[in-house]
């Protein structure tokens, strides 16, 4: 790949606060000013995302180009899934609510700044998580968390795609009673039984640090993923735990179970198919669920040192 490699941009026209056509014009201006050829592959409905991402990878592979994802963490994850193992470099233009993946790697949060830094970025290997073969960049979960995401989308359709809407909707969901998951877990040759309202698998140090889960964050430095579970808890206690997490003190509550792994098999008793949230997108997957570190890293276009933003 050269510094003039063409860019194939998969852009989610539903993400961000400006219209998709306007963002394409802005990006085209930035990239062409930088001497780069660019082709846009718009995604107007979620059902088309995987197919469009695969198309972008095919085109990029034919000319040693860069596959670029413009959208929220779900869009980035889907395009990364298509790119993984292709030997194509992968660039991002974050446009979501929290943008944990982009923030973790110092990518600017405004689309123009991210585009300009992409022109000077270089590929570096980045760890990817898998759940039943599906890639995720930030997190994957089952139980309460997918329910939080479904409720959040309903709130956003009514009130807009703002961070405060996501927070308010999450707190409202926590105030309702929730069933406990009944799990059998295999990890490194050891089995354990676990009852919990949610099982959360993380792959993002920034998200763990901001929640106060330092042990889980350290696991990522060792090339592992980290599992987080909450002891069986009623709605009021979940609400209190969420507030502790919001101020970075979740790990000190004594109600959280966390452990590292490279491969984890989860049997969900009483469920053949399970709702799994992977980077904000919900999938129905067959039990048992197998979470693992991908044997192949993603070749992420990481900003040059001078372009890198503070992790915040």
Q: Is 116 helix (H, G, I), strand (E, B) or coil?
A: helix
pLDDT of residue 44: 86
DSSP code of residue 22 = H
* CATH for 279: 2.60.200.40
Q: Which residue has better confidence, 28 or 20?
A: 28
User: Do 112 and 30 meet the contact criterion of CB atoms below 8 Å apart?
Assistant: yes
Q: What is the dihedral of CA 254, 257, 260, 264, to 10 degrees?
A: 180
pLDDT of residue 12: 86
| Domain match, 226 and 93 both | no
pLDDT greater than 60 at residue 247 = no
Q: Is residue 19 part of a domain?
A: yes
Q: Is residue 86 part of a domain?
A: yes
Quick one: how many helices (H) and strands (E) in the chain? Answer: 10, 18
| Domain match, 47 and 142 both | no
What's the predicted TM-score (pTM) here? 0.86
Instruction: Tell me the residue range of the domain where 63 lies.
Output: 7-120
Q: Is residue 312 part of a domain?
A: no
Q: Report how many domains make up the chain.
A: 2
Cβ within 8 Å of residue 215, ≥6 positions away: 226, 251, 258
Average pLDDT over residues 173-188: 80
- Residue 8 CA to residue 190 CA, distance in Å, equals 44
- Residue 243 CA to residue 145 CA, distance in Å, equals 15
| Domain match, 58 and 83 both | yes
| Domain match, 101 and 250 both | no
* CATH for 46: 3.40.50.10330
Q: Give per-residue pLDDT as tens, 186-198.
A: 998 999 999 998 8
Average pLDDT over residues 260-268: 97
Q: Which residue has better confidence, 222 or 14?
A: 222
pLDDT greater than 90 at residue 88 = yes
Rg (CA), the chain: 19
Q: Is residue 311 part of a domain?
A: no
């Amino acid at each position: 790949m050269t510094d003039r490699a063409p860019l194939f941009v998969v852009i989610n026209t539903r993400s961000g606060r400006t219209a998709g056509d306007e963002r394409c014009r802005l990006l085209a201006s930035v990239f062409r000013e930088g001497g780069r050829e660019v082709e846009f592959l718009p995604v107007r409905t979620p059902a088309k995302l995987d197919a469009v991402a695969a198309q972008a990878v095919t085109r990029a592979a034919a000319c040693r180009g860069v596959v670029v994802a413009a959208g929220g963490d779900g869009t980035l994850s889907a395009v990364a899934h298509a790119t993984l193992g292709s030997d194509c470099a992968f660039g991002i233009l974050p446009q979501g609510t929290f943008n944990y993946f982009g923030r973790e790697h110092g990518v600017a949060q405004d689309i123009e700044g991210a585009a300009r830094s992409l022109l000077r970025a270089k590929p570096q290997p980045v760890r990817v998580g898998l759940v039943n073969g599906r890639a995720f960049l930030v997190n994957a979960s089952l139980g309460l968390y997918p329910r939080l995401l479904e409720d959040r989308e309903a709130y956003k359709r009514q009130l807009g795609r703002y961070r405060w809407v996501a927070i308010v909707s999450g707190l409202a969901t926590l105030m309702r009673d929730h069933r406990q998951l009944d799990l059998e877990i295999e990890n490194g040759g050891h089995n354990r039984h676990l009852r919990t309202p949610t099982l959360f698998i993380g792959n993002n140090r920034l998200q763990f640090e901001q929640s106060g889960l330092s042990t889980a964050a350290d696991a990522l430095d060792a090339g592992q993923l980290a599992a987080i579970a909450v002891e069986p808890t009623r709605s009021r206690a979940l609400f209190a735990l969420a507030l502790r997490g919001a101020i970075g003190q979740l790990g000190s509550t004594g109600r959280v179970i966390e452990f590292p792994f490279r491969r984890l098999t989860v049997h969900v008793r009483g469920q053949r198919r399970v709702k799994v949230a992977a980077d904000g997108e919900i999938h129905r997957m067959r039990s048992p669920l197998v979470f693992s570190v991908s044997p192949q890293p993603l070749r992420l276009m990481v900003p040059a040192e001078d372009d890198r933003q503070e992790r915040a």
